[in-house]
Amino acid sequence: MRPPDRSLTRLLAGWLPRQRWFGGKDSPIDELTIDTSTELVPGDPGLHHLVLDVRQNTTTDHYQLLLGIRRHLPERLRPHQIGQFAGDTPGYLYDAAHDPELARPLLTHMARETTVGPLRFRHTPGADIRTDLDGTPVTAEQSNTSLVFGGTYICKLFRRLSPGVNPDLEVNLALSREGCTHVPAVHGWIEMEPPDGAGGEPITLALLSEFLRTGTDGWRLALTSVRDWFAQPEPLHAPPGSPAAPPGPAGALTVGDAAAAGGDFAAEAERLGAATAQVHRDLAAAFGVTRAAADDLRAMARGMAAQLDRVGAAVPELRPHAPAIRAVFDRLAASDDPLPVQRVHGDYHLGQVMRTESGWVLLDFEGEPARTPAERRAPAHPLRDVAGMLRSFEYAARFLLAGGDEMPPESADVLERRAQVWAERNRAAFCAGYAAAGGPDPAAHTALVRAFELDKAVYEVRYEARNRPSWLPVPLRSLERLAGGQRSIE
Ligand SMILES: Nc1ncnc2c1ncn2[C@@H]1O[C@H](COP(=O)(O)OP(=O)(O)O)[C@@H](O)[C@H]1O
Ligand SMILES: [Mg+2]
């Protein structure tokens, strides 16, 4: 039971742009073709694995889809309908990632290490994969779709495929081999033969990992802390003996008050810093460390300046800060210290970490979605990840202000000051934890950290201007501070 390919491609071309994970929403689809189609489950319901080639302008992207086919579509699957087809055996087509019944065969195939057409299902040595669990998608899906199997496994289906092994699988396997306890255990994966036969690396389609049952999202935890902090009555005075607080406006809440407030996040931030340093150490052990020559450093600084020019041309609000930002990049370019570089996380923020009973766990080593596969795997200085997390603390601190949430009655100035205190306290704690656990001390590399942070904030300016203009003040405020020469870290 299957419609002819011609009507299928037409249906898919209409459905694809409406999917959250579809990366090409900016321009129309010029051509969609089915590259491979593999039947995984025959009958009703049936399951086909498809790889789609989607051409837009001059680029072709590849997406995978689990295509479900049923004669009758139950109510719960209606929101995932792709289309209907007529003929002798009419039926419905839908996104089978949302069909628990059809997710189970993925586990069975991985447990048996089956090969079906170009698809290879694999498990890690010794893994005894349970096959009695139904898979349901997690609702927090971003660029991929993850299925949770009975609170035991999580299977991340990479929606857009890139050539070769996916860095998320590559890094998680390597870190597990190093005995790293700050990543979820890998149980299995699905891969596909490279298109041109022998030679190339297989293409990773999915990653099956341990589901962190006791895990709480780092971003959510941080926001809870910020909300508590904003709700503190004002004024509140630092208890005697609390850590030295920067002088604030008379009667305003200070870092000392933050330490005393319920829901303080600093101890978590410090432990997260330590976990980050340990993962960096394990990444260095697994993939090695090289030295970037002064030329590479100059090229990196030039890249940062080029982005600054591009974003400045598009977003006028950035322009007043541009000279000060450029001066920081120029100073970096003038340094001739060779930089030790290594594999890093590459897209590090509070949404990529979870706190579990046994400590912080890092997720999602895919790198920044906007970068090419080669860029994502390229070695970088580990303080780039640190800068990413420092930016995330700024975002968490200001998220409630920018999002128009219902706010306590304090004036905007007071809340802005509180956001700053929360961010400073947690940034400092994160850096202290990172350095104490053996990472390069951010306080000893302020020029580098500041350049990385500025580069990230410039990228955020472009993103917010395009997607969420009411958020533009978040990176702009940081730029004011960072480029103004004030401390970038405590
Ligand atoms: N091993 C896991 N255990 C529990 N939840 C997880 C696990 N991996 C991911 N998640 C949840 O899924 C979300 C998205 O995962 P992530 O790997 O970052 O995918 P994406 O590429 O879509 O960002 C995470 O923020 C987290 O809430
Ligand atoms: Mg993620």
- Give alpha helix (H) positions in 183-265: 218-230, 255-260
- Give the ligand with the smallest distance to the CA of 366: 1
140 lines ligand 1 (CB under 6 A): yes
Residue 373 has what pLDDT? 84
**What does the DSSP assignment read for 75-92?**
GGGGGGEEEEE-SSS-EE
Q: Is 351 in the pocket of ligand 1 (CB under 6 A)?
A: yes
If you average pLDDT over residues 115-119, what whole number do you get? 96
Confidence of residue 1 (pLDDT cuts 50, 70, 90): low
Average of per-residue pLDDT across 467-488: 80
For ligand 1, atom 13, which residue shows the shortest CA distance?
Answer: 140
Is any ligand 1 atom within 6 A of the Cβ of residue 436? no
Task: Look at residue 241 and tell me whether its pLDDT is greater than 60.
Answer: no
Identify which ligand lies nearest to the alpha carbon of 219: 1
User: Ligand 1 centroid vs 305 CA: distance in angstroms?
Assistant: 33
Q: Quick check: CB of 64 below 6 Å from ligand 1?
A: no
**Which residue of 146, 172, 371 sits with most ligand 1 atoms within 8 Å of its CB, as the best mutation to test the pocket?**
146
| Mean pLDDT for all residues in the chain | 89
Q: Is the pTM of the predicted complex or chain greater than 0.85?
A: yes
CB burial of residue 228 (10 Å; 0-12, 13-18, 19+): middle
Buried b (16+ CB within 10 A) or exposed e, 114-131: eeeebbbbbbbeeeebee
Looking at residue 489, its pLDDT comes to: 39
pLDDT digits (tens, 9 = 90+) for 288-327: 999 998 888 999 999 999 999 999 999 999 999 999 999 9
Taking a C-beta distance cutoff of 8 angstroms, is the pair 93, 8 a contact?
yes
Is the C-beta atom of 138 inside 6 A of ligand 1? Answer: yes
Burial class for 255, CB neighbours closer than 10 Å (0-12, 13-18, 19+): buried
Atom of ligand 1 lying closest to residue 219 CA: 25
- Name the residue among 38, 187, 49, 173 with its Cα closest to residue 111: 187
245 pLDDT band, cuts 50/70/90, is very low
Per-residue pLDDT band at 411 (split at 50, 70, 90): confident
Distances (CA, A) of 441 to 98, 180, 339, 385, 483: 45, 21, 14, 13, 21
Structure confidence at residue 212 as a pLDDT band (50, 70, 90): very high
CA–centroid distance, residue 352 to ligand 2 (Å): 5
Share of the chain above pLDDT 70, in %: 89
Q: Name the closest-CA residue to atom 15, ligand 1.
A: 364
363 Cα to the center of ligand 1, angstroms: 6
Minimum-distance ligand 1 atom for the alpha carbon of 142: 22
Kindly state the average pLDDT of the residues 119-137. Answer: 93
Q: For 458-481, what is the mean pLDDT?
A: 91
Read off the pLDDT of each residue in 280-290 and give the average, rounded to a whole number.
98
Going by CA atoms, what residue is nearest to atom 9 of ligand 1?
A: 363
| Separation of alpha carbons 159 and 182, rounded Å | 25
Residues 48-70 pLDDT 10s:
999 999 999 989 999 999 999 99
> With 60 as the cut, is the pLDDT of residue 488 above it?
no
Which ligand is located closest to the Cα atom of residue 157?
Answer: 1
User: Ligand 1 pocket, 211 CB below 6 A?
Assistant: yes
Q: Would you say residue 469 has pLDDT above 80? A: yes
Residues 6+ apart with CB under 8 A from 472: 315, 317, 461, 464, 465
pLDDT > 90? residue 199: no
